[in-house]
Amino acid sequence: MARKNNNAKRRLLITALFIIGLMAFIYNSKLFEREPPQVLIDETVYWNLKKPLNIKISDQSGIKRILIQLGDGENNITLFNEKHNAEEKELEFNITFPKKGFYSKKNQYIISYEIVDHSFWNFFMGNKIVKESIIIADRQDPLIHVTANSYKITKGGAGIVIFKVEDANPNEVYIQTNFGKKFKAAPFEKEGYYIAPVVWPREQKNPLNAEIVATDLAGNTAREKIKYYIQDKNYKSSKIQLTVPFLNGSISSLAHDIADDETQDMNSLEKFIFINDTLRKESVSTIEEVSDNINYPKYFTLEPFYPLKSSAVVAGYGDFRIYEYDKKKVSESYHLGLDLASTAEADIILSNRGRVVFAGENGIYGKMIIIYHGLGIYSLYGHCSNLLVQEGDEVTAGQIIAKTGKTGFAFGDHLHFGIVIQGVEVRPEEWMDEKWMRDNIFDVINSANYLIESENNNSKWQNN
């Protein structure tokens, strides 16, 4: 009797262990995973009903059944009703708005999904997700209206544009140019208005073409060409013969000073090419990186820049230089600043308040300072001997920020003065000329303000 009892107990124990083991197996097995399928789509979706709407579905045990329906509150249309095998763990659907089936042009639709996976969980029924998203139909392109813009842009120079964008669900606003560069826009005085600088870079041979682009959350895009008068400009072009004494002397010692590690194993011609090509590119991209901001400060003003008292221009902006060695072209470059010289270690004076965004070594520019003044406009001071400000400093007009010098790719004490607009070095002369600044920048801002102000008054009048 006792033995029988013992056998029964043992059998019970084995069965219990088997069940626990089985449960543990089920619980940990991939076949029995308990995660419902994932649907990658927002709860609220803005849709222009034109571009296909993308939905991504995934599940670790594979997707078994999919039912996707679109409803307008009265009718329901089945978009997808499919079965899939367990290998299909990720599926992507491009939903196009049905041409037939909905009678009404509603502004809102509901998209619903019912998706089951291949898991054995839930007594082999699988995990299921039932979900809905609201579709906000937005068939309207943004409306762009140019309020005011500079009349003219000269090659190497700048202009601005002020415009209004109207849209129910706005997304992005920027200026697209025909050379790839996008200029960011900053909010202007009144809601819906923007201001942006536009530049025709010195190196671009094709005439500038700039358009305002506005997108909305539903995928609608509007474009509006800005009507600038594009004025070409002839810049100086010169051929410079590199001589052996120059390469072995000045260039070799310069390479030793500013790029010793990289140029150690090079001959002196290679050193020159390294400095004028590779190092120049690096220095320019540092400038681009620190000067990409855009904002429009509340009281935006600029005085003409006049960084060096009683100075002479020793090299112009935009000069194109072709370097030859042994009568063969070995390198070329554009000079994108204005070289000014007075006495050695002369005071560099700031003409406008701003914030120091760079103060340190920058390759061919040597010891360099960049200061931000608002509206994407920066001033740049290169080849300094002594820097008197630090990154992050708020600086004021009249402040002495550095002393001139010959650091970097420079062979005499001078200031390389630059104006950078959203990463592009432009003609500094424009920003040193009070009349140019008034005609091309501040009159444009004032006339936009005037138009916005009169629009405000008109709407007040209508409300009364």
Residues near Zn ion, by CB under 5 A: 337, 339, 416
Report how far apart, in Å, the C-alpha atoms of 460 and of each of 148, 192, 455, 456, 464 are. Answer: 23, 18, 9, 6, 6
Nearer of residues 155 and 416 to Zn ion, judged by Cβ:
416
**Minimum distance, C-beta of residue 420 to Zn ion, in the bound complex (Å):** 13
Q: How far apart are CA 416 and CA 362, in angstroms?
A: 13
Residue 337 or 363: the one with the smaller Cβ distance to Zn ion is 337
HEC states along 377-430? EEEEEEEECEECCCCCCEECCCCEEEECECCCCCCCCEEEEEEEECCEEECHHH
CB of 335 to Zn ion, least distance (A): 6
Residue closer to Zn ion (CB basis): 169 or 342: 342
What type of residue sits at position 397?
A
In terms of CB distance, is 142 or 408 closer to Zn ion?
Answer: 408
Nearer CB in complex with Zn ion: 220/362:
362
Q: How far apart are CA 202 and CA 426, in angstroms?
A: 7
Residue placing its CB nearer to Zn ion in the complex, 63 or 368: 368
The residue whose Cβ lies closest to Zn ion is 416
| Cβ proximity to Zn ion, 337 vs 405, nearer residue | 337
Task: Give the shortest CB-241-to-Zn ion separation in angstroms.
Answer: 20
Q: How far apart are CB 339 and Zn ion at their closest, in Å?
A: 4
Nearest approach, Cβ of 340 to Zn ion (angstroms)? Answer: 9
Tokens coding 167? 């849209």
The span from the CA of 323 to the CA of 330, in Å, is: 6
Maximal C-alpha separation, the chain: 121
Q: Give the residue with the Cβ less far from Zn ion, 138 or 339.
A: 339
Q: Residue 95 CB, nearest distance to Zn ion (Å)? A: 57
Burial class (CB in 10 A: 0-12, 13-18, 19+), 221: middle
Which helix (H) or strand (E) segment holds residue 304: the answer is: none
Q: Shortest gap between Cβ of 337 and Zn ion (angstroms)?
A: 5
DSSP codes of every residue in 137-161: E--PPPEEEEEEE-SEEETT-EEEE
Do 158 and 195 form a contact (C-beta atoms < 8 A)?
no
Of the two residues 181 and 321, which places its CB atom closer to Zn ion in the complex? 321
Shortest spacing between CB 315 and Zn ion, in angstroms: 6
Do 358 and 369 touch, CB atoms closer than 8 A? Answer: yes
Whole-number minimum distance, CB 416 to Zn ion, in Å?
3
Nearer to Zn ion, 58 or 379 (CB): 379
Q: Which residues contact 220 (CB under 8 A, 6 or more apart)?
A: 48, 138, 139, 140, 141, 142, 167
Residue 255 to residue 3: CA distance in whole angstroms: 97
DSSP for 10-72? Answer: HHHHHHHHHHHHHHHHHHH-GGG--PPPEEE--SEEEE-SSSPEEEEEE-TT-EEEEEEEEE-
Q: How far is CA 294 from CA 69, 373, 421, in A?
A: 44, 10, 9
Q: Select 339 or 413, whichever has its Cβ closest to Zn ion.
A: 339
- Write the burial class of residue 219 (CB in 10 Å: 0-12 exposed, 13-18 middle, 19+ buried): middle
With vertex at residue 226, the alpha carbon angle to CA 222 and CA 228, rounded to the nearest 5 degrees, is 170
- Its sign, for the CA torsion 289, 291, 296, 298, is positive
* Dist CA 187 CA 165 (whole Å): 11
Q: Whose Cβ is closer to Zn ion: residue 39's or residue 287's?
A: 287
- As measured in angstroms, the least distance from the Cβ of 171 to Zn ion is 41
Q: Smallest gap, in angstroms, from Cβ of residue 431 to Zn ion?
A: 16
Pairing status of strand 229-231 against strand 152-154: parallel
Least Å from the CB of residue 195 to Zn ion: 30
